[in-house]
Structure 1
Amino acid sequence: MRTAKEKKMVTPQQLRDIEQLQNVCETHDHVQLKLNWEMLRDRGSDSLDFFHYENDELVAFLGLYAFGSTVEVCGMVHPSVRRKGHFHRLFRLGMEQVKRNGYKKILLNAPAGSAAAKGFLSKIGAAYAFSEHQMEWKETPLEEPDGILLRRATVEDYEMRVRLAVTAFGVDEEDARMMESKVMGDNTEIFMIVVNEGTVGKIRVSREEGQAWIYGFAILPEYRGKGIGGKVLRRVIQEQRSAGHSVHLEVEARNDHALRLYESVGFKAVHAQDYYIIAINQVFQ
């Protein structure tokens, strides 16, 4: 039996199927896929995941991950059934959903070392945009951070979080408001960075299967270059390591300042992801 179908929500069994297929693909291709598990496990009712089963086994998957008006796309196909058009069909279904939802920008994500992904991206006419390093903290002596406080974010911090998203990441205000209004899962915490009783930044920590991931780390422009970023990272590293978690993050490869900051406290690049862009009219031409 062969089916290509769109699902309203990801079930526990489908999550297990996705994980099994991910393990097969990563082992075969010697890569690491970025499937945004934090978002996969916390899907609402949006139709953002696409599956192809053969004999009750998931052999192709595509996921859409919305960040405001931008949508990231990532998927995979079992090595034994590649070059049969399965992923292309799922991709077309996904792009139809992108068109219906009115996303303005499409980012296609592929492991830097994946020849199969590069072949597909070239075939559809996607253009390279940028690369991102996945970094892991390696055992390094750390000074005790002082002069900062990390407190859990509250609803009163919403406007500051929007301001930080706009000034630090260059997103427009509408997207920032949409992203900052999302309810985070139980395994995610947002902390506000406080210096001299004033809020100057934010950082998000998500924990999954023994790993702590840092996201959305932002400091107001007027407070940068004062050593605050290093202190925040040391505090987060110490707390997460004490809780038994390894510590990870992602950073755009061309962001030299951020790379130097992360490397200075012991983070090392372990994987790379390449991002490509494509216009919706290219898909349906």
Structure 2
Amino acid sequence: MLTRKQLEEIKGLQAVCEEAGGFKLKLNWDMLASRPQGRKDDFLHYEEGRLIGFIGLYGFGNKVELCGMVDPAFRRKGIFSRLLNEAVAVAEKRGARQILLNAPAGSESARAFLNHVPNRYFMTEYQMKWNGTSSPASEGVTLRPSTDGDHELEARLEVECFGFTEEEADSFNKELRAISNEDFYIIESEGKPVGKMRVDHLDGEAWIYGFAVLPHYQGRGIGRKALSAIIAKEDQKGYPLFLEVEAKNAHALRLYESVGFKSYHAQDYYEYI
């Protein structure tokens, strides 16, 4: 569990690295701020009391994502390599089936480092922001808060839509509910629960995560109407709305664009091999 001082140090180091590199790092601040006690997910390197390097480990059921940074003035000293080796060892010990290295698209320093690490390109993920245009109507689809009785449906959606095993889905959802401050929603169509989404509020922004509709109900406009409903809800509260989508998921990309989301940044993922 990170202390408030450590979180401030990480945020400060992030600002230094982003300004020097002209990119945006994806450090999953919602997860950094709610790490469970007694588990090592963060790897920090100090020199003379100053944070110089950091890597965060983020578990998503059947995979682990790693993202980090080193102060530009201290690069090429093996700091990031040592942190990465430590993080990979922890991920492997936990039985991660896939380890993904997350780097800002277009980052020259990240590309140079990856040339010396065993990896293969996996996918690109786009951050998208709602542009404020009116979205389609949401009649026939409603959002309601998730309850304990929805756990089975939420786990099933992780399995059928995101490739989790049943055990991973069960564990992931229980841990998420235990540590997260997100709003959990169930999507209903004509009174039937058919999907889910989560919304996290951080630094005056609303982010959509875990958006999924059961395969049997896809292609009926339910997803578009559910997005329209959450757009209306968050816009009324004054939140700018964001989400993330894999570039290879062309259907999802078109869906989000159809309700007014536009891409503004990209992250590349490389599978550690």
Please state which band the TM-score falls in when normalised by the shorter chain.
over 0.9
Question: Could you tell me whether the CA contact under 8 Å between 1:187 and 1:208 is conserved in 2?
Answer: no
Match of 2:200 in 1: 206
Q: Give, in angstroms, the shift of residue 172 of structure 1.
A: 2.0
Distance 1:216 1:117 in 2: 27
**Structure 1 gaps, min length 5:** 1-8, 280-285
Match of 2:59 in 1: 66
Distance 2:246 2:95 in 1: 26
Match of 2:5 in 1: 13
Q: Give, in angstroms, the shift of residue 186 of structure 1.
A: 5.6
- Look up the equivalent residue of 2:245 and give its one-letter code: V
One of 15, 19, 32 as aligned partner of 1:40: 32
Match of 2:106 in 1: 113
One of 21, 24, 35 as aligned partner of 2:16: 24
Q: Give, in angstroms, the shift of residue 56 of structure 1.
A: 2.1
Distance 1:163 1:35 in 2: 28
The change in CA–CA distance for 1:26 and 1:278 in structure 2 (over 3 A counts) is same
Q: Give, in angstroms, the shift of residue 102 of structure 1.
A: 2.2
Q: How does 1:1-285 map to 2 (within 5 A)?
A: 9-44=1-36, 45-184=38-177, 185=179, 187-279=181-273
Question: Could you tell me whether the CA contact under 8 Å between 2:136 and 2:224 is conserved in 1?
Answer: no
Secondary structure of 2:256's partner? helix
Cα offsets for 1:75-124 (capped at 9, x unmatched):
00111111111111111211221232222211111111111111111201
63-72 or 179-188, which deviates more: 179-188
- TM-score (ref. length: structure 1): 0.91
Secondary structure of 1:124's partner? coil
Identity %, equivalent residues? 47
Distance 1:244 1:19 in 2: 25
C-alpha RMSD of the superposition: 1.3
Question: Could you tell me whether the CA contact under 8 Å between 1:204 and 1:217 is conserved in 2?
Answer: yes
Q: Give, in angstroms, the shift of residue 187 of structure 1.
A: 3.2
Question: Could you tell me whether the CA contact under 8 Å between 1:145 and 1:234 is conserved in 2?
Answer: yes
Question: Could you tell me whether the CA contact under 8 Å between 2:128 and 2:264 is conserved in 1?
Answer: yes
**Structure 2 gaps, min length 5:** none
Q: Give, in angstroms, the shift of residue 225 of structure 1.
A: 1.4
